[in-house]
């Protein structure tokens, strides 16, 4: 694919685990030559994370790792070795972006902090995305998606009233706010460099994009001095607003009524006892006052419906509704995702044909699928050494023998 928008951009990718790897995946899938620098001594944790293809574990069999590292090349360097560090510097000299998501101080140990890298490539775009940023009293704290969610208040707001914080069931900050903000910042810095010739140091504190998700709770406290608490699926003053049972085992539908007109349309489809049509309940405040009764009555009506049929019926009259899908539904039977070609299958060198997400947006003049499957550990070490670093086979073998290449 020759028309990808980031073709010609090279990224020296020191990131690992979730948010960093997803950031550089977004760049790689749109044409950047992302070279993932790995170590056999300290593996990227995602390589050891479930699910494994066919249930067989292995450093090249993680579906989690594979989905976060499409379209990249992998080399294995020993950054504790002087010659390994020299190879990293040579690679950086040919790169446009250097990316890492280590705790501050880690890249300094390798002699690859921003000031040192800028001496190698003056116009480099240097992305650092630690948990709390490069400065401040907590900048050296270690963190992952779970702890970021806790520190930012996301964990506190997730769950049911009068229950312990439940969280989002996944490392949500790693998947949405942090990689997207980091990728946007990188693209902005590349545009600035193209216009001015100047590089940038991008300091992403992963707590801050996650805080941006909590706008209503922050504003509610700032303006009203009140603390938002866990409310499950309810989002007052919208009501009803929740998940209701449907016919069949573990079958559910989400319904969100944001206006009095929607309430009338909902009753037109569901029917239900006459008291639901009392004048007081035609207004949102009246429904909220009797929310427990109304939720129970709606649940009785939805139990007799097939979830898909009910969603179609409600959508047809302007009521926001969605089937609660599981993974099998999403992969095998979601007509919208299938129409848009969201799922792609790529041939992986060890796992064979495996499923991947396409980029979650489409561009009219560019392809919309990953360029290649995730790399094997160190799969492209020799290729990168020959093509980019201009090393001979003898030199490569020598570096491998002395432990600079692993």
Active-site residue set? 174
Q: What are phi and psi of 12, to 5 degrees?
A: -85, 105
Closest CA to 127 of 247, 41, 9, 228: 9
Which residues contact residue 281 at a Cβ distance below 8 angstroms, ignoring those fewer than 6 apart? 263, 275, 287, 290, 294
What is the number of other CB atoms lying within 10 angstroms of the CB of residue 37? 25
DSSP state of 40: S
Specify whether the CB–CB gap between 301 and 272 falls below 8 A. Answer: yes
Determine the Cα–Cα distance for residues 178 and 202; give it in Å rounded to an integer. Answer: 13
Which regions of 210-292 does DSSP assign to beta strands (E)?
Answer: 241-245, 252-256
Pairing of strands 73-76, 33-38: parallel
The residues, any chain, with a CB within 8 Å of residue 52's CB and separated by 6 or more, are: 58, 61, 62, 63
Both tokens assigned to 60: 């090249």
């Amino acid at each position: 694919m020759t028309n990808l928008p980031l073709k010609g951009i090279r990224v020296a990718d020191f990131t690992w685990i979730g948010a960093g790897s997803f950031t550089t995946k977004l760049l790689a899938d749109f044409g950047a030559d992302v070279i993932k620098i790995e170590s056999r001594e300290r593996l990227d944790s995602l390589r050891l994370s479930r699910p494994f293809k066919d249930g067989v574990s292995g450093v090249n069999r993680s579906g989690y790792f594979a989905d976060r590292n499409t379209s990249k090349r992998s080399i294995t360097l020993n950054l504790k070795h002087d010659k390994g560090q020299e190879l990293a510097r040579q690679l950086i000299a040919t790169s446009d972006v250097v990316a890492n998501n280590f705790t501050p101080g880690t890249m300094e140990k390798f002699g690859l902090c921003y000031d040192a890298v800028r001496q190698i490539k003056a116009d480099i775009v240097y992305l650092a995305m630690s948990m709390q940023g490069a400065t401040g009293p907590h900048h050296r704290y270690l963190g992952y998606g779970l702890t970021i969610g806790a520190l930012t208040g996301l964990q506190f707001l997730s769950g049911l009233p009068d229950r312990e914080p439940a969280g989002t069931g996944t490392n949500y900050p790693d998947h949405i706010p942090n990689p997207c903000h980091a990728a946007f910042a990188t693209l902005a810095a590349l545009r600035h460099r193209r216009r001015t010739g100047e590089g940038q140091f991008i300091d992403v504190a992963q707590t801050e994009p996650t805080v941006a998700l909590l706008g209503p709770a922050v504003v509610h406290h700032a303006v009203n001095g009140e603390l938002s608490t866990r409310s499950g699926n309810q989002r007052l003053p919208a009501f009803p607003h929740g998940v209701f049972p449907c016919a069949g085992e573990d079958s559910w539908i989400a319904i969100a009524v944001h206006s009095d007109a929607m309430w009338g349309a909902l009753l037109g489809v569901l029917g239900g006892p006459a008291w639901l049509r009392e004048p007081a309940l035609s207004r949102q405040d009246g429904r909220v006052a009797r929310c427990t009764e109304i939720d129970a009555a709606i649940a009785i009506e939805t139990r007799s419906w097939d979830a898909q049929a009910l969603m179609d019926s409600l959508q047809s009259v302007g009521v926001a509704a969605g089937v609660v899908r599981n993974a099998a539904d999403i992969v095998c039977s979601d007509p919208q995702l299938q129409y848009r070609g969201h799922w792609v299958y790529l041939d992986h060198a060890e796992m064979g044909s495996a499923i991947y997400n396409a980029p979650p947006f489409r561009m009219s003049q560019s392809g919309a699928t990953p360029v290649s499957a995730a790399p094997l550990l160190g799969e492209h070490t020799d290729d990168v050494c020959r093509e980019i670093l201009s090393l001979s086979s003898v030199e490569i073998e020598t570096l491998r023998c002395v432990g600079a290449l692993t």
